[in-house]
Structure 1
């Protein structure tokens, strides 16, 4: 066996973060490419626009579902390498789609989406398994920052390439995603396998060697013992629970809370802005979408700044407080333009874009990162794997449906009315949080589960009291 070279923790965290940047790039790149693609292929059918844009999310649903299972068999590192290869191939296939090859491009983006879904599951898992315990709490926020940085990078690349002829511009925008994918591939080649995976597969010596690169010698054995204990607990949990366990009275409330937050995050309409902001500006002002590529950059900067703000305030405010604040302002930012348009018909059409920027600002430090924090905190060990998978699936499905339906909706009703609908969903999300989601900041998983059991006991006692028993 070839002895692995020592790899610095900075190198590991950099390429873990780079996976998030790549994920964000592929999510955002179609924002700038779509106007040129529409111009090149003369696409006017709203359903075709929706399918081409959202197809990457359809692939992500498949990739996210497969990645977790395959990574338990093949290893985190190997699966990230496979995802990087799919990134490269999918990006190139997207860029060489034949003229008017709608179905070819949709298929290529579904294939590419499998890598997006895999990366969204694998990269944070790998980073958390490599990082020391005191850094794991920040990883959700850091991963969110890297994803939105990747989106901002894609918007900048789109803007820089916007001066090219239409047929060349969109092809280069999509193909350029292969460059960071290659960097990720060659970087991960130098990384070791996750010690958690190695221990679960009875490769203690290799796990000990990898951890020796990252931890002080005096804490090495205690961490190995902790990982072994956690692995045994997970094994016991998988043996003693089934999919049906998720709907048992003991866990149903927490499942509904976690899945509900994940679904609301998407159905609130954020991705409609991120995918279609040039189209939104075109509908508002009448100027060509291909000339509105500075707006995605502005939205991207707001997203990055908001994600950095979250890193500062994440543990200073209650989860429910931030979600309530964010959802309320987001809802009003969508509803007010529709009201103002009725009251002041001659108002500046760019008013809606200003309100959308306010929406993005509050989304970026509330619902965007906190959804994943809550999913990581709310589920007890016995159902965590299955419940997290269900919540993630609902999130991807919501993202796919919003991307698919938005252009169809604005082709049917006014843009202000569409956003007003999203605004109502935002406010319903706030109501859901206040009624159904328990506070998780500062509580252990065991305490959260205990609070739920106490709540159920009080409900049962109240029902018996009403029945006179």
Structure 2
């Protein structure tokens, strides 16, 4: 025990926060890596005309993530955040390698890769849920507000890293290129595993298990003021007590009772719109989009994902600068409106000017990514974290996350099918209309959370429920 304590005490808060951030890099790398691998995989396995298989291979990770996040949340309450992050890293490593060594068995290879990537998705969903939760429980209260922006920055940095790796490997023989791109995802997973091995367990989990002495010891490693430790322990105990009482009094049906329905619809709706607006269609398929627009081979267009990645990183930094200067609703509505127009205008221009430069659509996609990166991308999870009352927070947050992953999976699945049957401009115009519907949804259904306490936000939902109850025709 003394050896463990000495080993743990050497761990700095910077080390803990770095590996919390590194979890975001791992998540982002896997989101982005298929962008560059897909053109080579299509050519190697002759899948150019197999839109549904391409959609399933790309979206299989998101399908697995739908279940991975929910499963990891429940298991982490039983076994601890740290152990489940370690387990997720192992699963990630194993199935990344298995993706890279996929056997070449004709059409059966595609089904093998789909299944392997679904299992990989369990780890992706788990990491996306566990790492921010662990970080929020380790960080001091004054730093938690910045963690959402920092986590988003690390995710898009991971995406940019994967785009750069894809670009560097593009001149390898086709079969080796996509296999190395997918297999190298095991490297950041290994780094995460080795780093988390040295981390202590979350004080909140330790207290929940009745180990107050160890929780105090862990807090002593990352808090400088002993008085802060006593105050934080008391706060954690009180919050845990309130959550136990809330969980005993609530069920899934409670989410849609008159008192909470307004806030649940708002939070889950924003999480769903974030994905159904089509951002992942760009992130997963930008080389194929450029190929269809210009006729150039997708494998020669791997600079475009890097451009998108740079825009995403810059946008995430812009968000961290403006996050507390503008209302959440204002940023979401402005961002959604510009995103919608960025999708709709190429279709309008192409209709008016049939000889439109084919790269026009790519320029508009860059505008979309820029506004998405500092509005809907980070703000969705800021709002979801603020909008749900304590009594329903666990279930409602899980529901919002599930709808977000469902949207991500469906967009990844259906985009190649849609572009195989209609012009690209028309497909993006459909996503543009969804963006505009998202703006209307925010305007009419989402309360402002910036500058309001959680209690004030809950009162908005309660008052809205009362109004609806007294005016059922509304």
Which of 314, 328, 344 is residue 319 of structure 1 equivalent to? 328
- Cα distance in 1 for partners of 2:295, 2:472 equals 59
Residues 76-119 of structure 1 show CA distances to partners (whole Å, capped at 9, x for unaligned) of 00000000001100110000001131111111111111110000
1:455 offset after TM fit, Å?
Answer: 3.1
1:58 corresponds to = 63
How far, CA to CA, are the matches of 1:265 and 1:462 in structure 2? 31
Alignment match, 1:120: 128
Matched, 1:21 2:25: yes
Instruction: Name the residue aligned to 1:75.
Output: 80
Q: Is the 8 A contact 2:337 2:439 kept in 1?
A: yes
- Equivalent residue for 1:96? 101
Aligned counterparts, 1:335-346, within 5 A: 335-346=344-355
CA distance in 1, matches of 2:326, 2:248: 37
User: Counterpart in 1 of 2:4?
Assistant: 3
Query: 1:272 aligns to what?
Result: 281
Is 1:393–2:398 an aligned residue pair? no
Closer/same/farther in 2, CA of residues 212 and 341 from structure 1, 3 Å limit: same
In the alignment, which of 113, 136, 139 is matched to residue 105 of structure 1?
113
Q: How does 1:25-424 map to 2 (within 5 A)?
A: 25-43=29-47, 44-99=49-104, 100=106, 101-215=109-223, 216-424=225-433
Gaps of 5+ in 2: none
How much does 1:157 deviate?
A: 0.1
CA distance in 2, matches of 1:17, 1:267: 26
Q: Distance in 2 between matches of 1:442 and 1:178?
A: 41
Shift of 1:452: 2.3
Q: CA deviation at 1:463?
A: 7.0
1:370-425 CA deviation, whole Å, 9 max, x = no partner? 00001000000000000000000000000000000000000011100000000000
Alpha-carbon shift at residue 453 of structure 1 (Å): 2.1
- Name the CA shift for 1:147/1:212 in 2 (closer, same or farther; >3 Å): same
Q: How has the CA–CA distance of structure 1 residues 63 and 461 changed in structure 2, closer, same or farther, with 3 Å as cutoff?
A: closer
* Count of matched residue positions in the alignment of Structure 1 and Structure 2: 465
Change (3 A) 1:134 1:168: same
1:62 Cα deviation from its structure 2 partner = 1.2
Q: Distance in 2 between matches of 1:433 and 1:372?
A: 14
State the alpha-carbon separation in 2 of the partners of residues 187 and 418 from structure 1: 43
Distance 2:163 2:81 in 1: 29
In structure 1, C-alpha distance between the alignment counterparts of 2:161 and 2:318, rounded to whole Å: 19
**What's the offset of the Cα at 1:462?**
6.1
Q: Confirm or deny: 8 A CA contact 2:259 2:462 kept in the other structure.
A: yes
Kept in 1, the 8 Å contact 2:259–2:466? The answer is no
Q: CA deviation at 1:459?
A: 4.8
Residue by residue over 1:299-337, the C-alpha shift from the partner in whole angstroms, topping out at 9 and shown as x without a partner, is 000000000100010111000000000000000000000
Assess if the C-alpha contact under 8 Å between 2:62 and 2:121 holds in 1: yes
Aligned alpha-carbon RMSD (Å): 1.2
Measured in 2, the distance between the counterparts of 1:370 and 1:246 equals 22
Aligned to 2:326, the other structure's residue is in SS state: coil
The superposition leaves residues 240-264 of structure 1 with CA deviations (integer Å, 9 ceiling, x where unpaired) of 1011101111101111101100000
Tell me, in whole angstroms, the C-alpha distance in 2 between the residues paired with 1:131 and 1:207: 14
Rounded Cα–Cα distance in structure 1 between residues aligned with 2:468 and 2:410: 36
Q: Could you say what secondary structure the match of 2:103 adopts?
A: coil
Q: Aligned to 2:4, what secondary structure does the other structure show? A: coil
In the TM superposition, what is the alpha-carbon distance from 1:135 to its structure 2 partner?
Answer: 0.3
1:116-172 C-alpha deviation (Å, 9 max, x unpaired): 000000000000000000000111111111000000000000000000000000000
Query: What corresponds to 2:16 in structure 1?
Result: 12
Task: Indicate if the aligned counterparts of 2:62 and 2:408 stay in contact, CA closer than 8 A.
Answer: yes
8 Å contact from structure 2 (residues 261, 465) kept in 1: no
Q: Which segments of structure 1 move beyond 6 Å, counting only runs of 4 or more? A: none
- Equivalent pair of 2:157/2:313 in contact (CA under 8 Å): yes
Where does the alignment leave 5 or more consecutive residues of structure 1 unmatched? none
Change beyond 3 A, Cα 1:453–1:185: same
Give the TM-score, by structure 2 length. 0.97
